[in-house]
Chain A
Amino acid sequence: MKEIKFALYAIKKNIQSSAELRTSFVMNIIGMSINNIVFIVIWGFFIKSVGIINGWTVADIVGLQGFVALCFGIVFSAGAGIRKLADYVASGAFDRFMLSPKNLLVRIATSSFGASAVGDIVFGVVCLVIYAVLIQASIYQILLIISLVIISVIVFLSAALVVYSASFYFTDADAVTKSLFELFLTPSLFHGGAFQGVMRFIFTFVIPSLLVGTLPVEIVRDASLEKLLPVCVLTVLWFIFSIKIFNRAVKKYESSNFMTFGN
């Protein structure tokens, strides 16, 4: 309880801190929203010209973008500190988290606020509302969407944690972790109908990209509990795995003495 209270307080302070730099704060949010809208328009044109692939319609693409954008927004707004892990480790700024009496992961995640990711949250919610309208979602499907958002957020967080834990193993891991994260994120935004056979297996079990967008859309579309159950199991496994990887990686921390400023 104390951990949650502190996490919420830290997020509030980070928002206040970001809002101090008002222009940058607002521009970040608007910029990210525009970026996402352009992306979805391109996919709309693609479906219109290519047609339906493996049962995926424009509505499904909107849903997919909604799930992924919302996950991205939630994890990287409130928990933007995870994305800075490579920088924290390289500069030695990670020291201050080790000195905190709070859970290390919570402390790191809530050490920074990603203003631009708020744009993703807004965009994600709008997309999911449009998606629900387009598929004329039943109450059951709406409840599924809400549950799957929570599941997707946990998978997204786990994937981010595994990737950014690599920061402890390389001297300057910023570029490496960014590339590795793109390897997870890019397929998650891709047309779900394109993943079949081996590709579907790899991007579900090895790299959990499909768990944050494609599979949730398919579960909502089919209103399928049979598909939901394995996704839930995989989510729990990924979460446990990511925590174990992170805890092991932290022990590799070697600190450094660069000048840094706190948050």
Chain B
Amino acid sequence: MSSNSIIVSNLTKKFSFSARNESSGWLKNLFSPEKKEIIAVNNISFSVKHGERIAFIGPNGAGKSTTIKMLTGILFPTSGNVNILGLDPTKNRKKLAYQIGTVFGQRSQLLPNLPLTDSLEFFGVMYDMSEKEIKTRITELIELFDLDSFITQPVRKLSLGQRMRAEVAASLIHKPKIILLDEPTIGLDVVAKKALRDLLLKINKEENTTIFLTSHDVGDIESLCERTIVINHGEVIKDLPTEDLSKTFIYEKYIDLVAKTSFENFPELPKGITYSSKDKNKITVIVDIKTISVQNSLKELLTLFEVEDIDVYNADLETVIRHIYEKDSQKL
């Protein structure tokens, strides 16, 4: 058996829609509208090994959700191939469903009016598990996800954090080999986010479940995923270990200058140094070390400003990701 859980080859998805032509009359627009086409996913290829934890990130409209929907068989690709655990989602959708779990942060799969136990049982029956298997698995999931305090509550009465834990638990009832999560921490507070990330790490370690997630939350990527694939305008623009992501913009350093009294003027900076933020108490500048060294930057800055403290650091992951998105957009 292949060591890959997911193999995506030259995957493309196009959507067509009717667009209003401002130069045409409303009658023409109504009966003979102009057809437009957008390429949501453009010829992407990648593979994921068993037990890997992948962050699939990109700005809004980049093609993340469309890709995840093609991986799960919800959408049919325009061209290209998807192979999940040896199955083609377009042809073996039902078979594949037994092998994967899915969580959509914006969409609940639970039964809203019934207690959470009923939803878990419902999924167990749906996956053809025996009554005994369902009971044992529910007990395991209650313990693993700490569901005990709200297991008898109707789902509609759960808090968002509780519901997301329940969603993930329900998606794992049949012990899937892969779990695909589309923005699982959306709307959660910091405590609930951490709890969910810890749980996902736990199931990855204990059950060797492959995790494939899309998220806008840098914390999800940093603390959970060992590899990051960045997609923008439907194309994969980076595919690298998450720890290498921050090295992408290693030629940029950030310097914080804390004012001795207060900064009154903000003079023009030497070439290679730009303001990132400026106020009377603190200035942050970005240094392009290909143009000017850190040492020379500090010398120049100290002649310009009277400072009490200085801090030199690399860009954080969020900034790096923002840069990647911005840089890619400038290419267009």
A interface residues, Cβ below 8 angstroms from B = 2, 5-6, 9-10, 13, 16-18, 20-21, 92-93, 95-96, 98-103, 251, 253-255, 257-263
Contacts and interface: CB of A to CB of B under 8 A. Distances in A.
A13 B114 contact: yes
Contact of B75 (A101, A254, A257): A254
Given A92-B107, A100-B126, A251-B76, A261 B156 contact: yes
Interface of B: 15, 65, 69, 72-76, 93-95, 97-98, 102, 104, 106-114, 118, 122, 125-128, 154, 156
B112 A6 contact: no
A96 B113 CA distance: 17
Nearest to B170: A262
B234 to A, nearest CB: 15
Contacts of B110: 262
A254 B15 contact: yes
Given A92-B107, A251-B76, A101 B69 contact: no
A70 to B, nearest CB: 27
Contacts of A93: 107
Contact of A101 (B97, B104, B111, B122): B97
28 contacts: A2-B128, A5-B125, A6-B125, A6-B126, A6-B128, A9-B122, A9-B125, A10-B122, A17-B114, A20-B113, A20-B114, A92-B107, A95-B74, A95-B104, A99-B73, A99-B97, A99-B109, A100-B94, A101-B97, A101-B126, A103-B94, A254-B15, A255-B65, A255-B69, A255-B75, A262-B111, A263-B111, A263-B112
Contacts of A6: 125-126, 128
B114 to A, nearest CB: 5
A87 B107 CA distance: 14
Given A13-B114, A100-B126, A262-B112, 11 more contacts: A9-B125, A13-B122, A17-B112, A18-B113, A98-B72, A99-B97, A99-B109, A100-B94, A251-B76, A262-B109, A263-B111
> What 7 A-B pairs come out closest when comparing CB atoms?
A101-B97, A20-B113, A17-B113, A98-B74, A262-B109, A262-B108, A261-B108
A168 B97 CA distance: 22
A208 to B, nearest CB: 30
B93 A17 contact: no
A103 B126 CA distance: 11
Contacts of A255: 65, 69, 74-75
A99 B112 contact: no
B126 A102 contact: yes
Nearest to B66: A255
Nearest to A101: B97
A125 B325 CA distance: 64
A18 B112 CA distance: 10
Contacts of A13: 111, 114, 118, 122
A254 B14 CA distance: 10
A5 B108 CA distance: 24
A92 B127 CA distance: 22
A255 B128 CA distance: 27
Nearest to A97: B74
Contacts of A262: 107-112
Given A10-B122, A98-B93, A100-B126, A260 B74 contact: no
A114 B10 CA distance: 44
A253 to B, nearest CB: 7
Given A102-B126, A254-B15, A95 B118 contact: no
B108 A101 contact: no
Nearest to B183: A257
A16 B106 contact: no
Given A101-B94, A261-B108, A21 B72 contact: no
Contacts of B65: 255, 257
A20 B115 CA distance: 10
Contacts of A17: 111-114
Contact of A253 (B75, B107, B108): B75
Which residue of A5, A20, A99, A251 has the most chain B CB atoms within 10 A of its CB atom? A99
B134 to A, nearest CB: 11
Nearest to B180: A99
Contacts of A92: 107
Contacts of A253: 74-75
A21 B125 CA distance: 24
A118 B265 CA distance: 77
A46 B75 CA distance: 52
